Amino acid sequence: MTAELLNGREIAKAYRAGLAEEVEKLKAQGITPNLTVVIVGNDGASLSYVRSKNKAAEKIGMSSGIIHLDADVAETELLDTIERLNNDDTVNGILVQVPLPEQISEEKVLEAIAPHKDVDGFHPTNIGRLYTGQRTFVPCTPLGIMELLKHTGPLEGKDVAVIGRSHIVGQPVAKLLTDAHATVTLMHSRTQGMIDKLKHFDVVISAVGAPGLVTGMHLKEGAIVVDVGNSVVDEKLVGDVDFESAKAVASYITPVPGGVGPMTITMVLNNTLLAAKWHNGLE
Give the residue numbers of the binding site for NADP(+).
164-166
Catalytic residue chosen out of the listed positions 25, 27, 29, 53: 53
Half-sphere exposure of 213 (CA within 13 A, CB side): 27
Q: Are strands 231-233 and 93-96 parallel, antiparallel or unpaired?
A: unpaired
Pick from 209, 213, 204: nearest CA to 186: 204
Instruction: Measure CA of the first residue to CA of the last residue in the chain; give whole Å.
Output: 44
Indicate which single residue of 56, 60, 96, 274 sits in contact with ligand GUN (rule: CB under 6 A). Answer: 96
Indicate which single residue of 3, 82, 120, 174 sits in contact with ligand GUN (rule: CB under 6 A). Answer: 120
Residue 180 binding ligand GUN, by CB under 6 A: no
Q: Which stretch binds ligand GUN (CB under 6 A): 84-92, 93-101, 150-158, 236-244?
A: 93-101
Half-sphere exposure of 283 (CA within 13 A, CB side): 11
Separation of alpha carbons 65 and 70, rounded Å? 16
Q: Are strands 203-206 and 236-238 parallel, antiparallel or unpaired?
A: unpaired
For residue 120, indicate whether it is catalytic.
Answer: yes
Q: Which of residues 132-151 bind ligand GUN (CB under 6 A)?
A: 140-141
Residue 227 binding ligand GUN, by CB under 6 A: no
Residue 276 binding ligand GUN, by CB under 6 A: no
Residue 97 binding ligand GUN, by CB under 6 A: yes
Indicate which single residue of 95, 112, 223, 276 sits in contact with ligand GUN (rule: CB under 6 A). Answer: 95
Q: Which stretch binds ligand GUN (CB under 6 A): 74-82, 91-99, 123-131, 246-254?
A: 91-99
Residue 81 binding ligand GUN, by CB under 6 A: no
For residue 97, indicate whether it is catalytic.
Answer: yes
For residue 53, indicate whether it is catalytic.
Answer: yes
Catalytic residue chosen out of the listed positions 118, 120, 227, 240: 120
Strands (E), 141-269: 159-163, 183-187, 203-206, 224-227, 231-233, 236-238, 252-253
Nearest-approach distance from CB 52 to ligand GUN, in angstroms: 12
Residue 242 binding ligand GUN, by CB under 6 A: no
Which positions touch ligand GUN (CB under 6 A)?
A: 95-98, 120, 140-141, 264
| Catalytic residue positions, numbered | 53, 97, 120
